[in-house]
């Protein structure tokens, strides 16, 4: 267990949330380049796995509406009390069917580490029952951006958002780690079935996922994961461990809209 994880239970949640919002763009630099991910004029943005809200708060300044889905009860309450007025917080786990499921957590953790999941791993020891929902079941409209961080439950979340993805064609920013689950089925679903293209940001330039061996990269830099959030924030020159992919539809590139055919006059 990292130092931050040991200290977290003794620090007020609101202070942890403030620190997370402050340092998270150094840990996850895509968040500092939100304009590359979330299109201008974003109607609705969805944050699946809100944690302490670093994504929700920044999305609130860019989108008309933000819907945050967070299964950990006390984190959902914190988000509801501390996020801007255009953020709607739902205490539930997103998956492929409504109902109730077990949310697994590490021993001594109430969700602070951000590694709770519906998929049990060797780090998990305790569980709480939480309500489940599908993104399709929320009745959302004009969804332009979806961020997903659910530690292994990515495929069910995407299956439960099939109609939303087909209708609104949002940008999808999703955490993928081969040490937690196979990456290929998720990439296959979004690229072959939905017609998306993946992009990664290993340094300062976005690269097509098709030309970047994400699994090999994660194997080579896996030692970075054990360093914990605090050390990774304080050592920016380390090799970066890339664990998130931006999927864009319809020929779009990061930071740009698709070029569309507007009729004979455009040609």
Residue 144 lies in a domain: yes
Cβ atoms of 91 and 70 within 8 Å: the answer is yes
Cα→Cα distances 88→23, 65, 81, 119, 171, Å = 24, 8, 10, 25, 20
Enclosing domain of residue 14: 3-249
Residue 256 lies in a domain: no
Residue 267 lies in a domain: no
User: In whole angstroms, what is the distance from residue 110 CA to residue 115 CA?
Assistant: 10
Residue 84 lies in a domain: yes
CATH at 206: 3.40.50.150
Residue of 189, 68, 85, 194 whose CA lies nearest to 138:
68
Residue 128 lies in a domain: yes
Q: What is the CA radius of gyration of the chain?
A: 18
Longest dimension (CA), the chain: 65
* Phi/psi at 234 (5° precision): -85, -10
244: enclosing H helix or E strand: strand 244-249
pLDDT in tens for each of the 267 residues of the chain? 443 455 555 556 666 666 666 666 666 889 989 999 998 899 999 999 999 999 999 999 999 999 999 999 999 999 999 999 999 999 999 999 999 999 999 888 888 778 899 999 888 989 999 999 999 999 999 999 999 999 999 999 999 999 999 999 999 999 999 999 899 999 999 999 999 999 999 988 999 999 999 999 999 988 877 665 655 555 655 678 899 999 999 889 998 654 443 333 333
Residue 43 lies in a domain: yes
Residue 242 lies in a domain: yes
Neighbours of 224 (CB within 10 A): 18
Number of domains forming the structure of the chain: 1
Residue 124 lies in a domain: yes
């Amino acid at each position: 267990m990292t130092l931050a994880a040991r200290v977290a239970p003794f620090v007020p949640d609101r202070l942890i949330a403030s620190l997370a919002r402050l340092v998270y763009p150094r840990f996850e630099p895509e968040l500092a380049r939100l304009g590359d991910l979330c299109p201008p004029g974003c109607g609705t943005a969805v944050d699946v796995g809100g944690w302490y809200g670093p994504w929700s708060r920044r999305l609130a300044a860019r989108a008309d509406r933000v819907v945050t889905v967070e299964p950990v009860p006390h984190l959902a309450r914190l988000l509801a009390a501390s996020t801007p007025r255009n953020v709607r917080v739902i205490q539930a786990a997103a998956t492929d069917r409504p109902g109730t499921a077990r949310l697994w957590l590490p021993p001594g953790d109430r969700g602070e580490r951000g590694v709770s999941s519906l998929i049990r791993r060797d780090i998990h020891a305790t569980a709480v029952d939480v309500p489940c929902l599908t993104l399709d079941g929320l009745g959302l409209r004009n969804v332009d951006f979806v961020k997903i961080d659910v530690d292994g439950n990515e495929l069910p979340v995407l299956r439960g958002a099939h109609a939303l993805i087909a209708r609104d064609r949002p940008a999808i920013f999703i955490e993928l780690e081969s040490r937690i689950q196979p990456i290929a089925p998720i990439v296959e679903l979004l690229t072959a079935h939905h017609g998306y293209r993946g992009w990664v940001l290993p340094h300062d330039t976005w690269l097509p996922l098709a030309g970047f061996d994400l699994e090999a990269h994660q194997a080579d830099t896996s030692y970075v994961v054990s360093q914990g959030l605090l050390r990774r924030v304080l050592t920016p020159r380390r090799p970066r461990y890339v664990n998130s992919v931006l999927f864009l539809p319809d020929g779009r590139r990061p930071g740009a809209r698709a070029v569309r055919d507007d009729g004979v006059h455009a040609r």
